[in-house]
Amino acid sequence: MRSDMTGAEIVVQALTDLGVEVIFGYPGGAVLPIYDALFQQGRIRHILVRHEQAAVHAAEGYARASGKPGVVLVTSGPGATNAVTGITDAMMDSIPIVVLTGQVATHLIGTDAFQECDTIGITRHCSKHNYLVKDAARLGPVLHEAFYIASSGRPGPVVIDIPKDIQIQRARYERPGTVTHKTYKPQLKGDRAAIEAAVEMLAAAERPILYTGGGIINSGPVASQLLRELAKLTGAPVTSTLMGLGTMPHEHPQFLGMLGMHGSYEANMAMNRADLMVCLGARFDDRVTGRLDAFSPNSKKIHVDIDRSSINKTVRVDLGIVGDVGSVIEDMIKVWRARGRRAVDLGGWWRDIAAWRARDCFRVEQTGPALLPQHAIRTLYAATRDRKPIITTEVGQHQMWAAQFFGFDAPNKWLTSGGLGTMGYGLPAAIGAQLAHPGALCIDIAGEASIQMNIQELGTATQYRLPVKIFVVNNEYMGMVRQWQELNHGSRYAESYSDSLPDFVKLAEAYGWKGIVIEGPDDLDAGIAAMLAHDGPVLVDCRVAKLANCFPMIPSGAAHTDMILEGDSVPGTTDEDAQALV
């Protein structure tokens, strides 16, 4: 306990008491008192990014890799507005971060002062909660409460807007005891009767499927182990959303892979034909469900989620269970065992699944001189799997290929922008993950268009000597945009070709990185080996087939049974066009 501290000193002391080790930020006039207080202490490390959006993405990467809330510090006006994309990204993907924004002095609020904006109004609908602090004595309680809100229940971003005069105002700070919120009290334990009903439904099902999402990862590593135990007990197949990859080992015989728009044939067909679907920590995103009236049409549905508002929000379910998904799965296992339940004979169900698996929907043969992007990522996985890397991505075709061809066996190894689909996410997220795990191999699988959204963060990695690797899958197109234009707009590639690309090798070298170019299949193994052998940051320009498309694919608004597989005749193209796709 200390009395007579400045607001800025209170901020730093509260962050220290909360166990914060790293802050990502960019200074400006409205936060200079806090930066001065940071300068005079030695426990919290500040990482100077090159853009405020990147600060938030780096905090997201840090949070997802470490399991601790990420912290951001930016100035008022453009500092706050530049952070909005990252805040929204964290909101959509349920990532715990606390964003501190500077604000003009309280007597200037509302006067259109220099670098003033309505940060509270702007972030009201893209943050879990936000505060405008007008009394330095409130800073300590607000900071502690913000961390509680960000990391409790369904995680998310919390914004604290701090006027400059409050940062120099003096007040008393006392470290609080147990922190709660008078109205926000997330329900962690699921209703016992509902859990017992769910167990009975699982035990009676003949074609069950467990549909898992990022909520299992947010629940902690134990939740993933419990999921594997539940799958073993029930014998049910398991599928995952993009955000849930890693909850089940990718080669586990019960794992059907990712489902949804670019998911596996077997996962989507099993979801369509199931008689019981158990949704565990997922939110029925439109990229997963496809056409809602055709989504798992003949199944009874159970939804387990810590966010009460998610249940029956998109898909009507037969049984909703509010609670932490790890806790609910643990109770389901206990009830299953206590009642001596055994899975019914699922032999017929697994024979159906085996037939769908036999389609081998991800089969891609590397032939000819053009390097297929799928083969490049598959080879990268084979070369790195023993090192258990942390993979981040940008957004686009390369993101989906990474989800399809890079195997994940544990949670918190796959960091991507799911709900918002934010280009420019991957590099700063890899920086955040590298800071959380300095000894880990952190690779950003990128596209040549997405990487340019926050490419200035090459300087951040150089400054802090972070050995981040970037593997650019370079097809010279905004590939997913081009693919949709091909399928839906008569191959009219309006502004989707990435003209005037930089020389990525020279650009990397200009920032102090090692640059490597892979021209084709013959260079692939050596290029990856050289990337892994270098103990500093590396950017690989991997030049791939320009017109490769990402399959399987469910066309927008279609049902799971309407999947287009590699080699199928593609609607909207001629047979000659289809041949040119690879």
Residue 357 burial (CB count, 10 A): 18
pLDDT value at position 179? 86
Output the CA–CA distances (angstroms, integers) from residue 68 to 63, 159, 436, in the order listed.
5, 16, 9
d(CA 378, CA 372): 10
Query: Catalytic annotation on 52?
Result: yes
Residues 6+ apart with CB under 8 A from 198: 278, 302, 304, 319, 321, 332
pLDDT in tens, 132-167: 999 999 999 999 999 999 999 999 999 999 999 999
Task: Identify the active-site residue in 115, 187, 366, 463.
Answer: 115
Q: How far is CA 574 from the centre of its chain?
A: 36
Q: Helix crossing, 221-234 with 325-338: angle to 10°? A: 30
Helix, strand and coil content of the chain, in percent to the nearest 5, comes to 45, 15, 40
d(CA 506, CA 515): 7
Strands (E) across 448-500 are located at 469-474
pTM above 0.85, yes or no: yes
Query: Catalytic annotation on 469?
Result: no
Span of 241-245, 331-335, 395-399, 574-578 with lowest mean pLDDT: 574-578
Query: Catalytic annotation on 114?
Result: yes
Residue 294 burial (CB count, 10 A): 15
Strands (E) across 63-204 are located at 70-74, 97-103, 129-132, 157-163, 170-173
pLDDT in tens, 59-118: 999 999 999 999 999 999 999 999 999 999 999 999 999 999 999 999 999 999 999 999
The runs of H, that is alpha helices, within 235-372 are: 265-273, 286-289, 325-338, 347-357
Residue 368 scores a pLDDT above 80: yes
Asked whether 25 and 80 are in contact (CB, 8 A), the reply is no
Assess if CATH 3.40.50.970 describes domain 373-550: yes
The domain segmentation of the chain, as residue ranges, is 2-173, 192-357, 373-550
pLDDT in tens, 448-474: 999 999 999 999 999 999 999 999 999
Q: How confident is the model at residue 538 (pLDDT cuts 50, 70, 90)?
A: very high
Asked if the peptide bond before residue 552 counts as cis, ω within 30 degrees of 0, the response is yes
Bridge-based pairing state of the strands 70-74 and 22-26:
parallel
Q: How confident is the model at residue 557 (pLDDT cuts 50, 70, 90)?
A: confident
Query: Catalytic annotation on 147?
Result: no
Query: Catalytic annotation on 476?
Result: no
Task: Identify the active-site residue in 332, 478, 480, 531.
Answer: 480
Kindly tell me the burial class for residue 348, based on how many C-beta atoms sit within 10 Å of its own C-beta (0-12, 13-18, 19 or more): exposed
Task: Identify the active-site residue in 68, 164, 413, 514.
Answer: 164
Task: Identify the active-site residue in 39, 40, 41, 114.
Answer: 114
Second CATH level (architecture) for the domain 2-173: 3-Layer(aba) Sandwich (3.40)
pLDDT value at position 182? 81
Say which CATH class 192-357 falls into. Answer: alpha beta
Residue 176 vs residue 74, higher pLDDT: 74
Task: Identify the active-site residue in 5, 13, 24, 52.
Answer: 52
Average pLDDT over residues 359-370: 94
Bridge-based pairing state of the strands 170-173 and 2-6:
antiparallel
Give residue 6's identity as a one-letter amino acid code. T
d(CA 60, CA 353): 36
pLDDT value at position 480? 96
d(CA 556, CA 176): 50
Asked whether 364 and 566 are in contact (CB, 8 A), the reply is yes
Q: How confident is the model at residue 202 (pLDDT cuts 50, 70, 90)?
A: very high
Instruction: Give yes or no on whether 2-173 and 373-550 have one common fold.
Output: yes
